[in-house]
Amino acid sequence: MMLGRLLGPRVWLLVAALLAAAILVPMANLWLPADSPLHVPSYMVPLFGKYLCYALLALALDLVWGFVGILSLGHGAFFALGGYAMGMYLMRQIGSRGVYGNPVLPDFMVFLNWDRLPWFWHGFDQFWFAALMVVLVPGLLAFVFGYFAFRSRVTGVYLSIITQAMTYALLLAFFRNDMGFGGNNGLTDFKELLGFSIASQGTRAGLFAATCIALALGVLLVGGVTRSKLGKLMIAVRDAESRTRFLGWRAEHVKLFAFTVSAVMAGIAGALYVPQVGIINPGEFAPVNSIEVVVWAAVGGRGTILGPVLGALLVNAGKSYFTVAAPEFWLFVLGGLFVVVTLFLPRGIVGTIDHGWNALRDRRRSLSAEDGTGAPPQLPPQSPAADRTSMPDGALPSPAE
C-alpha cells in the first residue's frame, strides 16, 4: 500500500499496460490466425519492440534532464555501447556458420586478414559476460565522464556540448576498421540468441516481451528514485543548485548517481535493440540520434515519467509513417514538431495536461471556498530547497538527515 502511494496510480497503470502488452502482443502474433482482425503481423513485433527500446532510452534521459536538469546530448553513445556489447556476443555465436567458416573470428576480421581474436573480444562467447558488459561499459564511461565534469562544476550548455563531443569522438573511433568493431559496416548477420534462432517468430516475440518487462522495471526504478528523498534532493539540485550546496549537500554526487544510472538504462535499451533490428553500426553514435532523444522527451513532457515514453512512441510511429509517405520531408516535420512544442507546449503533452488539470482543480476549489461549500485551495508545494530555507535561523538540517 505504501509503495502504491509512493509511485502513484499513473506509474502503476503504465507498468500494467506494459506487462499486458508483453503477454497480449506475442499471443496475437503466435496464436491468432493471419486472417483474424486481432492478429499482429510478424514484421510489427520487432518494430514495436524497437519503439519500446527507444522509450526506455527516452526514460533514461528524462531521469537526468527532467529531474536533475542535465541536458545530455550524448545518451546515444551509451545506447550504442550497450548495443555493441550485445552485438559482440551475437557475433561470437555465429561460429563456423559465417561466410568464411572461421569458428573463432567474425567474418569482418577474416576479410581484414586478422590472425587472432582481439583481447577485448574474449568472454563474449558467454551470455553472462556480455550482459555484464552491457551494464558495466556504459555505466563506467558515464561514471568517469561525470566524475570529472561534475567535479569541475561544468553545467548548462557547456556540459551539453561536451556530451555531444564525447559521442562524436566515439563515432569516429568506431568507424575505424583497426578498432576491431566492424568499421563502417558494424556487426550484423546474427544467427541465434541463447540457442534460439534470432529470425524465428518465437524469439522475436520473446524479445518483445523482454523489452516490455525491461521498460516496466525502468519505469518502477525511475518512479521509485524520483519520489524518494533522493528524488526530492535531485529536484532541489535542478531548481536551486547553489542553494542546495549552501545547505551542505554535495550536488555533484547527486548528479553523478543519476547520470550513471541513466547510462546503464540506456545501455540496456541498446542491448535489447540490436537483436530486434539485426544490426549495430557506428551510425548509432551520430549526435543527431542523441538530439532526437531530447525531442522525444520534450514532446512527451520531461519530468513526468509517462511523457518520455509517450513521446518516444508517438514520434517514432510518425517517423515510420513519414519516412515512407514523404521521406524528403521527415526532417522538416521533426524540426517543426520541436519548434511547435518549444513555443506552444513547453511542458510537453503530459506536462501540459497535468498543468491544465491542476489549474482547473484549483479553480474549482477557489469557487467552492468562496461559496463556503469546500476547503480553501492549497498552496503548491515548494521545492525541497525552499522547504529547508523556510526553517528558522539556526535550525537548518544537516546533510546526514
Give pLDDT tens digits for 87-132: 999 999 988 888 888 888 888 888 888 888 999 999 998 999 999 9
Per the structure block, which three cell numbers stand in for 55? 522509450
Task: Evaluate if residue 350 carries a pLDDT over 70.
Answer: yes
Burial 129-162 (b: 16+ CB within 10 A, else e): bbeebbbebbbebbeebbbebbeeeebeeebbeb
Q: Which residue has the cell 526514460?
A: 59
Given this model, what pLDDT does residue 394 score? Answer: 40
What does the alpha-carbon distance between residue 102 and residue 120 come to, in Å, rounded to a whole number?
Answer: 18
Per the structure block, which three cell numbers stand in for 52? 519500446
Per the structure block, which three cell numbers stand in for 103? 569458428
Per the structure block, which three cell numbers stand in for 143? 561514471
Task: Evaluate if residue 297 carries a pLDDT over 80.
Answer: yes
Enumerate residues 6+ apart whose C-beta is below 8 A from 134.
82, 85, 86, 267, 268, 270, 271
Given this model, what pLDDT does residue 3 score? Answer: 54
**What is the mean pLDDT of the segment spanning 378-401?**
46
What does the alpha-carbon distance between residue 271 and residue 84 come to, in Å, rounded to a whole number?
Answer: 7
Q: Containing H/E element for 108?
A: helix 107-111
Q: Does residue 291 sit in helix, strand or coil?
A: helix
Query: Which residue, 401, 87, 55, is CA-closest to 222?
Result: 55
Task: Specify whether the CB–CB gap between 92 and 133 falls below 8 A.
Answer: no
Q: Containing H/E element for 187?
A: strand 187-188
What does the alpha-carbon distance between residue 318 and residue 336 come to, in Å, rounded to a whole number?
Answer: 13
What does the alpha-carbon distance between residue 381 and residue 401 come to, in Å, rounded to a whole number?
Answer: 20
312-327 pLDDT, tens per residue?
999 999 888 888 887 7
Q: Are strands 192-193 and 279-280 parallel, antiparallel or unpaired?
A: unpaired
Confidence of residue 376 (pLDDT cuts 50, 70, 90): low
What does the alpha-carbon distance between residue 206 and residue 194 come to, in Å, rounded to a whole number?
Answer: 12
Task: Specify whether the CB–CB gap between 177 and 89 falls below 8 A.
Answer: no
130-167 pLDDT, tens per residue?
999 999 999 999 999 999 999 999 888 999 999 999 99
CB atoms < 10 A from the CB of 384, how many?
A: 22
Confidence of residue 21 (pLDDT cuts 50, 70, 90): very high
36-95 pLDDT, tens per residue?
888 889 889 999 999 999 999 999 999 999 999 999 999 999 999 999 999 999 999 988
Confidence of residue 380 (pLDDT cuts 50, 70, 90): low
Confidence of residue 248 (pLDDT cuts 50, 70, 90): confident
Task: Specify whether the CB–CB gap between 287 and 76 falls below 8 A.
Answer: yes
Helix axes 306-325, 44-65, angle to 10 degrees: 130
What does the alpha-carbon distance between residue 113 and residue 102 come to, in Å, rounded to a whole number?
Answer: 12
